[in-house]
Amino acid sequence: MAKRKSKTRSTSSRGKAARGRSRKAMPAKSQDAIALLKADHRQVEGWFEEFDSSRSDSRKQDLAAKICAALKAHTTIEEEIFYPAFLEATGEEDIHHQAEVEHDGARKLIAEIEKAGPDDDYFDARMSVLSEMIKHHVREEEGRDGMFAKARAADMDLQALGQQLATRKAEVMGEAGEDGEEESARSRRPAADSGERGVLARALRRVRGE
């Protein structure tokens, strides 16, 4: 009998372990389009709060880069996927057009921030204005009668749109990373080329007896 009890406990233990592995292996539940876009909003809001409270220039520069990259990816997936689907489903041209114009304004300010950098006297001011622009934009989208509320009330497949947004966002962020690596590589090439030219020039001078 003792042996049978031991087997029972062993079987039960294996069953629990298998169930645990099964739970770990299950993929995370995908977000619908609105949940994904709201998560983007919360992430950027958190970074803006960190920026406001930071006293480190290097930390501010890092946060600004994260904010700008996230906002560029966010606006891209909204304009390419969510906004067209929203306009088709609701016919709400005023809301759609206003959101597009707000994106355009934010995009121009982001370009100025990325071009100037933290050494610019207006760096903090530009980040502050960008924060206020994004706060207003988020209120417009998430408000009671805003774009997201109207999207939920319309005949939109938000789950499928969420998958499309997530896929496109990963692509955009990947492209941004590759562009950054290429730019970094280009910035290193002149120094290497200069060094090579210097070595060649010295060798030529030795050959010529200079």
Q: What is the DSSP string of 6-70?
A: HHHHHHHHHHHHHHHHHHHHSPPPPPPHHHHHHHHHHHHHHHHHHHHH---HHHHHHHHHHHHHH
Domain ranges of the chain: 31-156
Query: What pLDDT sits at residue 37?
Result: 98
pLDDT digits (tens, 9 = 90+) for 65-103: 999 999 999 999 999 999 999 999 999 999 999 999 999
pTM for this entry: 0.71
Nearest one of 192, 172, 193 to 40, comparing CA atoms: 172
Q: What kind of fold does domain 31-156 have according to CATH?
A: Four Helix Bundle (Hemerythrin (Met), subunit A) (1.20.120)
CB 129 within 8 Å of CB 109: yes
pLDDT digits (tens, 9 = 90+) for 186-195: 444 444 444 4
Which amino acid appears at position 84 of this protein? P
Q: Where does the pLDDT of residue 176 fall: very low under 50, low under 70, confident under 90, or very high at 90 and above?
A: confident
Query: What pLDDT sits at residue 116?
Result: 85
Query: What pLDDT sits at residue 95?
Result: 97
Query: What pLDDT sits at residue 180?
Result: 55
**Whole-angstrom distance, CA of residue 35 vs CA of residue 142:** 11
pLDDT digits (tens, 9 = 90+) for 117-170: 778 899 999 999 999 999 999 999 999 999 999 999 998 999 999 999 999 999
208 pLDDT above the threshold of 60:
no
Q: Where does the pLDDT of residue 29 fall: very low under 50, low under 70, confident under 90, or very high at 90 and above?
A: low
**Residue entry with tokens 């041209």:** 93
Find the radius of gyration of the CA atoms of the chain: 27
In 3-state terms, what secondary structure has residue 209?
coil
